[in-house]
């Protein structure tokens, strides 16, 4: 990787960008691999660091590269694209696409329900809920921080379950509540410093934020979730007709 396209009149940053793109497409830079630093690339191509940075920013915007705070810039994995036309779990959706997924449980505790959570779960404010916070990975890269709240009166035994290797919905079904439908809200947000550190992005990076209420077949609300998804690695598809 020591030459750039010799095209008259094309800005240098575009030549750098396309040289890096070619390396990615040809597999010389592999998914998940850290690329050389801006200083290394500048020296290699004989251009300024700012020129290299602009080319890299273009590829980050396209989703071919991503940054991890304090670690450098890496070749991106394919986006985890969720089909919201039908209700599927994170694990089910990813595995259907051949993406390796995993989850680390950061916290499980029984807490009194706040007003927003109580309203969604149709329980009195202050009634006990189980808070399950997990960090989810796609192809070994952190992609989602998932804050789920479920009624303690329905699912107290879940506290003794293995929540890392099994979908929460599968466990709920074991206790007689099969997930049937969901109502969710989506909005764009920016990662605050704490969230950014957890999911490996810069503070202020784009986040796809979701609030979702899950209902069982009999209409019982069984889960309310705050979900923070990396905007550079997560996308969704919705089918619409007129």
Reported as a single tens digit per residue, the pLDDT across 200-237 is 888 998 899 999 999 999 999 999 999 999 887 766 66
Kindly tell me if the per-residue pLDDT of 86 is higher than 70.
no
Cβ-in-10-Å burial (0-12, 13-18, 19+) of 241 comes to exposed
* Helices 49-62 + 38-45 axis angle, to 10: 120
Position 97 pLDDT exceeds 90: no
Instruction: Give backbone dihedrals phi and psi of 189, rounded to 5 degrees, phi first.
Output: -140, 175
DSSP secondary structure code for residue 167 in this structure: -
pLDDT at 242: 75
Mean pLDDT of the chain: 84
Question: Is the pLDDT assigned to residue 8 strictly greater than 80?
Answer: no
Task: Parse the chain into domains and list their residue ranges.
Answer: 12-75, 80-237
Residues contacting 118, CB < 8 A, separation 6+:
124, 125, 126, 127
Decide if 199 contacts 143 (C-beta within 8 A): yes
DSSP-derived letter for residue 19 is H
Which pLDDT belongs to residue 25?
78
Assess whether the region 12-75 and the region 80-237 belong to the same CATH fold: no
Report the candidate in 188, 123, 174, 175 with the shortest Cα–Cα distance to residue 149: 123
Which stretch, 21-30, 49-58, 65-74, has highest mean pLDDT?
49-58
| In CATH, 12-75 is 1.20.1080.10 | no
pTM: 0.66
pLDDT per position as a tens digit, 139-169: 778 889 999 999 999 999 998 888 877 788 8
d(CA 48, CA 45): 9
Distance from the Cα of residue 160 to its chain's centroid = 27
pLDDT at 107 over 90: yes
Q: Summarize the confidence of residues 26-53 as an average pLDDT.
A: 87
What is 80-237's CATH number, 3.40.50.11540, 3.40.630.30, 3.40.1410.10, 1.20.1050.10? Answer: 3.40.1410.10
């Amino acid at each position: 990787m020591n030459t750039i396209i010799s095209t008259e009149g094309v800005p240098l940053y575009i030549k750098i960008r396309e040289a890096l793109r070619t390396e990615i497409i040809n597999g010389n830079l592999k998914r998940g691999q850290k690329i050389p630093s801006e200083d290394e690339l500048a020296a290699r191509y004989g251009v300024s660091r700012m020129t290299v940075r602009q080319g890299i920013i273009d590829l980050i915007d396209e989703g071919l590269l991503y940054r991890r705070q304090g670690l450098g810039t890496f070749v991106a994995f394919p986006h985890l694209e969720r089909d919201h036309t039908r209700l599927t779990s994170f694990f089910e959706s990813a595995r259907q696409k051949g993406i390796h997924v995993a989850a680390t449980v950061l916290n499980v505790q029984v807490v009194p329900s706040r007003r927003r959570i109580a309203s969604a779960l149709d329980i009195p404010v202050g009634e006990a809920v189980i808070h399950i916070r997990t960090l989810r990975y796609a192809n070994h890269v952190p992609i989602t921080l998932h804050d789920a709240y479920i009624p303690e009166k329905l699912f107290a035994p879940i506290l003794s379950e293995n929540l890392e290797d099994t979908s929460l919905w599968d466990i709920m079904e074991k206790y007689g509540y099969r997930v049937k439908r969901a109502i969710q809200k989506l909005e764009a947000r920016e990662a605050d410093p704490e969230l950014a550190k957890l999911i490996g992005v810069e503070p202020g990076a784009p986040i796809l934020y979701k609030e979702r209420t899950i209902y069982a077949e009999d209409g019982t609300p069984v889960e309310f979730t705050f979900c923070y998804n990396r905007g550079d690695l997560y996308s969704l598809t919705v089918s619409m007709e007129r």
